[in-house]
Amino acid sequence: MKGVVLAGGRGTRLRPMTDVMNKHVLPVYDEPMIFYPVRTLIDNGISEILVISTPEHIGGYIQLLEEEFDADFSYKVQKSPEGIAHAVRLAEDFVDDRFAVVLGDNIVIDDLSASIERFEASDSDCMIFLKEVSDPSRYGVAEVAGDEVVDITEKPAEPETNNAVIGLYLYTDEVFDRIPDLNKSDRGELEITDLNESYLDDGRLTYSVLDGEWFDVGTPDGLLKASRFVAEDA
């Protein structure tokens, strides 16, 4: 299985740092943020990795990652931040079959091998990962019944569940037939939630519950929490 790390975007919630640098070089304790999603893939046996970032910042990632990791990296530019699903589409030439997508600002520390095996053996076209959180209204949340996801709601005011949909997704290459059918949201982006909902509507979505650690480090609070965790764990 190949992997894709998305490291574009605007990073508005981490301004003013992101006015002059890309979010994914900001430190989580003593390492740049992007090392974590890359490590999530490598630690789970995925060593062919496509990194997608902005025209201004992609060069820095080549330097950083080639020096740090012994993996087979490819790079692609997303010319403008038109959404996570828009960025996934840029992986079309890189992907051959099933692949993983991890958001560059998500830290996932877990053994994913059982979930990956389950996805590879299944006839589902998309697997999302859920993590129980105390503040679900900040995230997309999924309602499940047995083995099935029955609903996904983006940032619900009154969440039905505590299951946040985290920034890690497994797809088949069929995803490239779906993305062109998405419409841009009110904020002008092709939304990953709309993409995943299309699988839900078609009965092609499966899920896995994350046992390990998860941090969304796209905000100052998330960054601080993750940095503390890493520092204490070191």
Binding site for ligand TTP (CB under 6 A): 6-13, 23, 52, 78, 81-84, 86-87, 103-105, 189, 218
Q: Which is nearer to ligand TTP, 8 or 159 (CB)?
A: 8
3-state secondary structure of 80: coil
Q: Which is nearer to ligand TTP, 9 or 159 (CB)?
A: 9
Measured CA to CA, the distance from residue 110 to residue 5 in angstroms comes to 17
Q: Which is nearer to ligand TTP, 82 or 151 (CB)?
A: 82
Which residue has the CB atom at the shortest distance from ligand TTP?
Answer: 9
Kindly give the residue spans of alpha helices, DSSP state H, lying in 56-191: 58-68, 84-89, 113-121, 175-178
Q: Which is nearer to ligand TTP, 15 or 145 (CB)?
A: 15
3-state secondary structure of 70: coil
Give min distance, CB of 86 to ligand TTP, in A: 6
Give min distance, CB of 193 to ligand TTP, in A: 10
Structure tokens at 200: 């839900």
Give min distance, CB of 8 to ligand TTP, in A: 3
Give min distance, CB of 15 to ligand TTP, in A: 8
CB-CB contact of 8 with 53 (8 Å):
yes
Give min distance, CB of 127 to ligand TTP, in A: 18
Measured CA to CA, the distance from residue 210 to residue 129 in angstroms comes to 6
Q: Which is nearer to ligand TTP, 139 or 199 (CB)?
A: 139
User: How long is the chain?
Assistant: 234
Structure tokens at 20: 């002059």
* Other beta carbons within 10 Å of 194: 20
Measured CA to CA, the distance from residue 165 to residue 131 in angstroms comes to 7
